[in-house]
Amino acid sequence: MKNNKKASYFMDGSIVITICALMLLAYVFELTSSKTKIPSIILLLVLGWLVKQITVILHFDIPNLEVALPVLGNIGLILIVLEGSLELELKKSNYPIIAKSGIIALLQMIVLSFIIGFAFYYFDPDISYKSALGNAIALGIISSSVAISSAKNLNSTNKEIITYESSMSDVLGVIFFNFVVLNNTIVGATFGYFFLDLLMILLISLAATIALAFLLSKIKHHVKFAPIIILLIMIYFTSKIYHLPALVFVLLFGLLISNLDEIRHIKFVQKLRPDILNKEVQKFKELNVEFTFLIRTLFFILFGYLIKTSEVLNTDTILWAIGITALIFLSRAIFLKLVGLPLKPLFFIAPRGLITILLFLSIPVTQRSIFLNNSLIIQVILLTVMVMMVGLMLNKKDEVTDQDQE
């Protein structure tokens, strides 16, 4: 009996020590990424894959962890979009950048989705074009979880563009995905219901933002930020159950509370005491960054753990992956030129990642194309991240400049 207890304590202790060691390694990756130019997602995926190989060699009995992936992914997506929106400033001087970033995010996502969707439909005789389009959207969206963290060492203008673009790409992409996948048929009435849902989430967002901002300004207890994050997650998942565009709420909440100075002329905002609330928002940002790092790290280590070597080296999908990756960067170059933004370094930053995985897992089995599988998703993610890594390594001039620091 005592031996069994000792063995149990040993296993529990080993698991905790292993997780802590992995998280500390991930923190080292985060600290050194600005020097090595290697995106942390690459190192986290490799780390997770190595852990899997060790467990196989040592014959450790690990339970099925796949069920945890969507949960971690959704929470990570909430925190990442919130982190990005809290950093955005809605000043008049930023309007041109916001407009250009929004145009690129929307047009590139739509064009890529329709082209890749047509390819799936053309070569897969057992799938409708609507289902093929739903499959393609997962590959047409830039991953803010990878893009924002990788762009943190760029100058302020480029960092803002990437933050705006990738955040809007996530939000617009999820809305587009739900519209295509969740509607059995798309007719005139479908658009009416869609705009009704959008109006509903805007009203919910406004009411929830006012309530949460009020709580943030009034709570005197030393624990005040964690309950607000928990409420955000709860509202997000509740909205998702009713197929409402839940990410819109997260984005609007972050934008509104981080830009109180821009709307302080509104009487209600004045009652929230913006000067005091701004200090609380700054603390909230810092806590959210910590939470985001933990969840994002766990997600990508777990995803790396679940990757099979055969899926990465699958020759049946590699040509598809290369073709889709080439199309991603070709379309990116075209749209950057059209809106008048510099190619370097923005051209290289179009990674796929967390949002791609989440949407792929959300596609009903009956609607999934034979070409969209784990191998294709993994290969496209790795290829787009590798292109980003090489681009950032070559782009030595775009570090934070003296002008940014002034």
pLDDT digits (tens, 9 = 90+) for 356-369: 998 898 888 888 89
Output the pLDDT for position 332: 94
Question: For residues 232 and 82, is the Cβ–Cβ distance under 8 A?
Answer: yes
141 located within any domain: yes
Q: Which of 76-80, 210-214, 273-277, 344-348 has the lowest mean pLDDT?
A: 273-277
Where is pLDDT greater, at 90 or 300?
300
**Residue 338 structure tokens:** 């059209």
209 located within any domain: yes
170 located within any domain: yes
Tell me the torsion sign for CA atoms 143, 145, 148, 151.
negative
Checking if the pLDDT of 7 tops 60, the result is no
Question: For residues 348 and 392, is the Cβ–Cβ distance under 8 A?
Answer: yes
Compute the mean pLDDT over every residue in the chain, rounded to the nearest whole number: 83
Q: How many CA atoms lie within 13 A of 106 on its CB side?
A: 8
Q: Return d(Cα 41, Cα 65) in angstroms, integer.
A: 19
Checking if the pLDDT of 47 tops 60, the result is yes
Q: What is the end-to-end Cα distance of the chain in Å, rounded?
A: 66
Output the pLDDT for position 401: 46
Arithmetic mean of pLDDT, 59-88: 83
Only one residue has tokens 């609330």, namely 277
Checking if the pLDDT of 178 tops 90, the result is no
Output the pLDDT for position 114: 95
25 located within any domain: no
**Residue (of 397, 388, 395) closest to 147 by Cα position:** 388
23 located within any domain: no
Output the pLDDT for position 259: 78
Output the pLDDT for position 405: 41
Q: What is the pLDDT of residues 151-176, one digit of tens each?
A: 877 888 888 889 889 888 888 888 88
Question: For residues 360 and 402, is the Cβ–Cβ distance under 8 A?
Answer: no
Q: Return d(Cα 48, Cα 53) in angstroms, integer.
A: 9
Output the pLDDT for position 400: 47
Considering its fold, how many domains does the chain have in total? 1
Where is pLDDT greater, at 327 or 238?
327
Question: For residues 366 and 128, is the Cβ–Cβ distance under 8 A?
Answer: no
Q: What's the CA dihedral at 126, 132, 135, 138 to 10 degrees? A: 160
Checking if the pLDDT of 403 tops 50, the result is no
Q: Return d(Cα 142, Cα 354) in angstroms, integer.
A: 9
Q: Which of 10-19, 30-39, 287-296, 314-323 has the lowest mean pLDDT?
A: 10-19
261 located within any domain: yes
Output the pLDDT for position 270: 62
Q: What is the pLDDT of residues 330-356, one digit of tens each?
A: 999 999 999 988 888 899 999 998 889
Q: Return d(Cα 319, Cα 305) in angstroms, integer.
A: 25
**Residue (of 340, 292, 315) closest to 78 by Cα position:** 292
Residue 201 to residues 168, 243, 251: CA-CA distances in angstroms? 16, 10, 11
380 located within any domain: yes
How confident is residue 136, by pLDDT bands cut at 50, 70 and 90? very high
Residue 138 to residues 23, 34, 183, 252: CA-CA distances in angstroms? 28, 29, 17, 23
Q: Return d(Cα 121, Cα 129) in angstroms, integer.
A: 5
Residue 216 to residues 204, 220, 246, 264, 285: CA-CA distances in angstroms? 18, 9, 21, 16, 12
Express as a percent the part of the chain with pLDDT over 70.
Answer: 90
CATH number of the domain where residue 127 is located: 1.20.1530
Q: Which of 4-8, 39-43, 60-64, 159-163 has the lowest mean pLDDT?
A: 4-8
Provide the domain limits for residue 364.
33-405
Arithmetic mean of pLDDT, 140-161: 85
92 located within any domain: yes
Checking if the pLDDT of 267 tops 70, the result is no
